[in-house]
Structure formats: structure tokens, C-alpha cells
Amino acid sequence: MSVADVWRVTQSEALLNGISLSTVGRWLAADALRPWRYHLWIFPRGPDFERKAGIVLDLYQGVWQGERLGSDCYVISADEKTSIQARCRCHPPELCQAGRPMRVEHEYERRGAVAYLAALDVRRGKVIGYLSEHTGIDPFNELVGRVMSQEPYASASRVFWIVDNGSSHRPTTFPQRLARRYPNAVAVHLPVHASWLNQIELYFSILQRKVLTPNDFPDLGALEERILRFQEYHNREASPFRWTFTREKLESWYRRLKQAA
């Protein structure tokens, strides 16, 4: 849709017939309306969304059940980035030149896929992750074990694991499984349809932009090496994400949604 499309529609309305194209353009500009643009977003529709999201946001602020977390407590944000493909372009890319970006061949051959399971230490910014052929309960248990078997998590007072409701860590089974293997670990589930509140997704988006785009790898081994090398690079200068969406902002946002409904 464009200004011209909007103008054509106005010509079918008796009250607006005869209005010029430039007038419609000025009206839209004056009201900052661009009907041809849109943003995708995720509407909160999970049961008890506000309460569950508030618990996670409190943890990001270093608070659990109204009390400040001690220095020996840690918050882990974990998930899987599934089916990362190694795509070998049918013609080598042409490097960028002055005034011209790199050119990447559109067609490619698939050279396999891998899953990346990763855990972000929210308070320190470091990432622990590994690559697996599959996702599921056993691969995710492997990730948990890699984290909980090393310091400072092995001897921590509490380690909070923030996860979504995926099949590898369902809320009906994961908390018991986690506590049984690691008594100092606590599972905290996000509301349904709220992965955007999981900080590991920020790291995955950085990985996607800096490492996986454009996707051009001769084989799966090259893709795996690149992902793990980036993890090492990230951890050398790791710092926590500057998370600004607090419980107070959530409550204000939720009130606006209810008023608009």
C-alpha cells in the first residue's frame, strides 16, 4: 500500500471525492500515519502472564521473592537455537568494494544442520554452550551438567534457570528433574509465548547477525567452528546486557494493553 493506493480508495467515498493525491499525502504526514508499514509483535496470551513474567524480571534485577540475591547466587538464561544450516553458496561471494557491498549468491547447497544449546550467566554476561545433532531432554541435560559441574555454579547457594516452555524443559517435569540432580538449582519458567523475555535470545540474535548472516559455509564443521569461536570471542569481553524492562514497566505496559482491549 502507498499514498497513491490510499488516495484511490478515497475517490470511492462520496465525502472525499475530488481530494487530490497531494492533500492525502499531507494529511497522512501531518498525523504521522503510514498505513503501508507494520511491525510484528507478540501479544501476551499465556495464563497468569503478568505474575510469571514479573518473577523473571525481578531476577534480572537481582531479586527473588522480595529479597536481594546474595553474591553467591546466579541467574542462568538458557535455550536452544535449533536447526542452524550450513549453506554453501553455488558461487563464491564477491568481496565488498568502495561504494558497493559484498555480493552473495542467492542459490546454495545444504551441507547439514546443527543445534546450539547455550546458557547465559545474566549477572556476568558469559555464555556456556555446545553443539549437538539433536535437541531434546538429554541434550539439554548435558548443557545443564556442563554449567552446574563448574565453578562458581557447583558451590553456589542458588542457581536460577530461566527457561521457556519447550519440550526439552517442560514446566511439568523439568523443575523436579533439575532439583533432583542439583539441589542448589531452581527452575523458573517464562509465561507461554514470552521467549522475548529470555535474555539468551539477545545473544542468539547477536550470533545470527554477526556470524550466521550471510550464511556461507563449505561444510558443517566450518559452521560449528565459527559458532564456538564466536562464543570464545564473546566471553573474553563479556558484560551483562543492559536490561531495562522492569516489573514496573511490565505493569504499566499491561495496563495500557487492557485499556486498549
Q: Are residues 14 and 134 in the same domain?
A: no
Tell me, yes or no, whether 142 lies in a domain: yes
Q: What is the pLDDT of residues 183-205, one digit of tens each?
A: 999 999 999 988 899 999 999 99
Q: Are residues 83 and 15 in the same domain?
A: no
For residue 199, being part of any structural domain is answered with: yes
Task: Give yes or no: residues 21 and 91 share one domain.
Answer: no
Residue 146 sits in a domain of what CATH number?
Answer: 3.30.420.10
Per the domain annotation, does 177 fall within a domain?
yes
Residue 44 lies in a domain: no
The answer on 245 and 179 residing in a single domain is yes
Shared-domain flag, residues 243 and 160: yes
Question: Would you call 221 helix, strand, or coil by DSSP?
Answer: helix
Residue 57 lies in a domain: yes
Task: Identify the weakest region by mean pLDDT among 27-41, 89-103, 181-195.
Answer: 27-41
What's the number of domains the chain is made of?
2
pLDDT value at 149 more than 80: yes
228, amino acid identity: L
Hey, how many other C-beta atoms are within 10 angstroms of the C-beta on 225?
13
18 and 56, same domain (yes or no): no
The pLDDT tens digits of the residues spanning 123-136 come to: 999 999 999 999 99
Whether residues 79 and 6 fall in one domain: no
**Same domain flag for 19 and 140:** no
| Helix ranges (DSSP H) in the chain | 3-10, 21-30, 49-60, 137-148, 174-181, 200-210, 220-236, 247-260
Beginning with the edge strand found earlier in the chain, give each strand of the sheet holding 185-189 in spatial order. 127-132, 108-121, 73-89, 158-163, 185-189
Please, where are the H alpha helices in 163-240? 174-181, 200-210, 220-236
Q: Which of 191, 215, 187 is nearest to 107 (CA)?
A: 215
Within a 10 A sphere around the Cβ of 181, how many other Cβ atoms? 12
Task: State the Cα–Cα distance between residues 131 and 80, nearest whole angstrom.
Answer: 10
Could you give the CA distance from residue 135 to residue 139 in angstroms, rounded to a whole number? 6
246 exposed, middle or buried (CB, 10 Å; 0-12, 13-18, 19+)? middle
Same domain? For 122 and 25 the reply is: no
Query: Cα 97 to the chain's mean position, in Å?
Result: 33
What's the predicted TM-score (pTM) here? 0.86
Looking at the domain assignment, is residue 43 inside a domain?
no
Do 3 and 124 lie in one domain? The reply is no
Residue 49 in contact with residue 165, Cβ under 8 Å?
no
The C-alpha cell at 91 is 558461487
Q: Are residues 27 and 116 in the same domain?
A: no
Give the range of the structural domain holding residue 33, as residue numbers without chain letter.
Answer: 1-38
Contacts of residue 82, Cβ cutoff 8 Å, sequence gap at least 6: 115, 135
Indicate whether 27 belongs to any domain: yes
On whether residue 143 sits in a domain, the answer given is yes
d(CA 177, CA 7): 61
Is 33 found in the same domain as 155?
A: no
Q: Which of 4-13, 24-33, 95-104, 164-173 reaches the highest mean pLDDT?
A: 164-173
Percent of the chain with pLDDT over 90: 68
